[in-house]
Structure 1
Amino acid sequence: MGLDSTVKKPHDRLSAHLAGDMARVNTLIRERMASEHAPRIPEVTAHLVEAGGKRLRPLLTLAAARMCGYDGPYHIHLAATVEFIHTATLLHDDVVDESRQRRGRPTANLLWDNKSSVLVGDYLFSRSFQLMVETGSLRVLDILANASATIAEGEVLQLTAAQDLRTDEAIYLKVIRGKTAALFSAATEVGGVIAGAPEDQVRALHTYGDALGIAFQMVDDILDYGGATEVIGKNVGDDFRERKLTLPVIKAVAKATPSEREFWRRVIEKGDQQDGDLEQAMALMDRHGTIASARTDAMDWASRAKAALEALPPHPLRAMLSDLADYVVSRVS
């Protein structure tokens, strides 16, 4: 993981600090994922929600609200909302990607079917909007509704860009800002909004979440070409097999010789993958230093996230959020 195993991880420290709030979030999640008439809904939802995820996004909402002095009840609703949106997108993503493993376990679409995964994901989106409305804040509703639309937009953009060698780093950034960073930034921003924080602090929280989410996704894409399966929760090389143009590959294509570009065209655009192609792809990335370059980019975004926190008041949670940004990129250091 890039850190000494004896060092308590930042998200573990966040969980410990916010344990009381998180217990209330988990209770609310269990209550709202229930269904009187369709027992498959809690079955499918529980498979993913209770699969041992870090609950990072709801923790960000709780941390932002508490850091800004909030002592009301609605940060619990918002944290559950964020987790429902995240879970819904995972259910849909696994269908789109035809994934077979998530968080080290078989995916819901594999255990049940695609129809169940899609419809339960829709149910969770609906539940998330019910929770948003209960806060009584139109601004919160606006932020999270926009984030939901942006996530879907990012996923659709990825569909059209993922297997097109013309996809460059600017398009890649749009994709990950949509599909990943949008929920991170919404999670932190609504925490500040519900707390009534000053506008400069709300903007700082948005910036922090956006930069953290980008760094997080870049690291995830790097780990696909070298992370341990138990660390990344999926098989090494899944992105390659799914023909996704992620940052390390985009950088390699940009530096490719004509023969190398033909290789990328065959395996990514045409989908003609053969034994040994993953190893050749990794060798080309190593030759051009694209993993190291992508790592540098991720570290730059983590630094931006930390810098944004300087606009917020001193607080133990602020230090933990800063450490979290370091930890995210330490996984590839």
Structure 2
Amino acid sequence: MAMDASAIAKPHDRLATYLADDLEAVNGLIRTKMASKHAPRIPEVTQHLVEAGGKRLRPMLTLAAARMCGYDGPFHVHLAATVEFIHTATLLHDDVVDESAQRRGRPTANLLWDNKSSVLVGDYLFSRSFQLMTETGNMEVLRILSDASATIAEGEVLQLTAAQDLATDEGIYLQVIRGKTAALFSAATEVGGVIAGAEEAQVRALFDYGDALGIAFQIVDDLLDYQGQSAATGKNVGDDFRERKLTLPVIRAVALADAEERAFWSRTIERGKQDDGDLDHALRLLAKHDALTYTKDSAIGWASKAKAALDPLPGHALKDMLLDLADYVVERIN
């Protein structure tokens, strides 16, 4: 499998090098399944997103889990493509829901085409993902990925109501991000173990790793929204504030707020009345209550849980890369 992966710095790049042949097969399958004889808009929209320079992190997790557990059949490629299709479908839908203008540093599909195209092409990709799943002939794989799809949708709907309600606490926040992000991470790793016929304790370990990694990943994303740089994140700093999303930094600041501060959060987040200077004031309140440090510590804690989860798995070069990946997810903060 290609060149020495250890010579490459970032763990997801090392994974991509180690899994280069598998990833090429996944990309080929994605291109084949993106095609549509009757609706050329489908490959146009999909290609814009799929080719936008995403890291293919989720499909790599499936490939890595399967290979780490000794799998040498063809179906890990189908499952990795399935995971990427589910992810891409949710991105298309998310950008419509969030009215986003930028994704991975490029204009979103709904901006370049329209909301109708984004929603319908997202639906097409979901359908394609289920077609791909069935090709494995494995009912357990079908159960895991269909459950994950339902959990993702549930998390997104929960976020609609929870995001602008100051009563949203860390427990509800965790439920939201477990749905919208961690569910696909954990399904991606779990199905890799299942298709490889790994023993139950190892499959559980892979699920736990993906779950904790996905939570850490989303917490870091939410933190970077307040302290990242647009060039690095592909988003505008403060988007979550402008979109009135209650993420962990704000939940922490609200929990420690006095009456005047709570009134500010109520006006800007719950009622959506935002004026010039409000983002700067929000950042001052986050700093006052050390909310960003608290959020960073929480992400580091989940990354540690992800690493500990891999203990039942045997020594393997891919295991080392997955351990490093958990560290790298939180290193993005710096």
TM-score class normalised by the smaller sequence: over 0.9
1:131 paired residue number: 132
1:99 matched to 2:100? The reply is yes
SS in 2 for 1:99: coil
Partner of 1:245: 246
- Within a 5 Å distance, the mapping from 1:102-251 to structure 2 comes to 102-251=103-252
* Unaligned 5+ runs, structure 2: 1-6
CA RMSD of aligned residues (A): 0.8
Deviations 1:163-198 (A, max 9, x none): 000000000000000000000000000000000000
Q: Alignment partner of 1:231: what SS?
A: helix
**Preserved CA contact (<8 Å) 2:27 2:81:** yes
Determine helix, strand or coil for the equivalent of 1:235: coil
Match of 1:69 in 2: 70
Return the letter of the residue paired with 1:86: H
Q: 1:292-328 deviations in whole A, cap 9, x for unaligned?
A: 0010010000000000111101000000000000000
Cα distance in 2, alignment partners of residues 288 and 249 from structure 1: 10
Structure-2 residue corresponding to 1:52: 53
Identity of aligned residues (%): 75
* Number of residue pairs the alignment of both structures matches: 328
Q: In the alignment, is residue 321 of structure 1 matched against residue 325 of structure 2?
A: no
Q: Distance in 2 between matches of 1:113 and 1:161?
A: 27
Q: C-alpha distance in 1, partners of 2:229/2:320?
A: 28
TM-score by length of 1: 0.98
Unaligned stretches of 5+ residues in structure 1: 1-5
Does the 8 Å contact 2:8/2:14 carry over to 1? no
The residue aligned with 1:90 is: 91
Aligned residue type for 2:330: V
Give 1:269-280 correspondences, 5 Å limit: 269-280=270-281
Distance 1:230 1:48 in 2: 18
TM-aligned CA deviation for residue 135 of structure 1: 0.2
Report SS of the residue matched to 1:225: helix
What is the CA-CA distance between 1:98 and the residue it aligns to? Answer: 0.3
TM-score (norm 2): 0.97
Partner of 2:11: 10
Q: Distance in 1 between matches of 2:231 and 2:195?
A: 36
Secondary structure of the residue that 2:310 maps to in structure 1?
helix
Contact residue 205 and residue 310 of structure 2 kept, 8 A: yes
Partner deviation per Cα, 1:206-254 (whole Å, 9 max, x = no partner): 0000000000000000000011112211111100000000000000000
- AA partner of residue 319 (structure 1): D
- Output the amino acid matched with 2:159: Q
Q: Deviations over 1:65-100 (max 9, x none)?
A: 000000000000000000000000000000000000
What displacement does 1:122 show? 0.2
Aligned residue for 2:311, secondary structure, equals helix
Aligned pair in 2 of structure 1 residues 117, 322: CA closer, same or farther (>3 Å)? Answer: same
1:26, 1:20 → 2: CA distance?
10
Q: Following TM superposition, by how much is the alpha carbon of 1:7 offset from its aligned partner in structure 2, in angstroms?
A: 6.6
Corresponding letter in the other structure for 2:207: H
| Rounded Cα–Cα distance in structure 2 between residues aligned with 1:231 and 1:160 | 30
Bigger relative contact order, structure 1 or 2 (CA pairs below 8 A, ≥6 apart): 1
Counterpart Cα distance in 2 of 1:283 and 1:136:
54
Q: Corresponding residue for 1:29?
A: 30
Runs of 4+ in 1 over 3 A off after TM superposition: none
Give 1:28 shift. 0.2
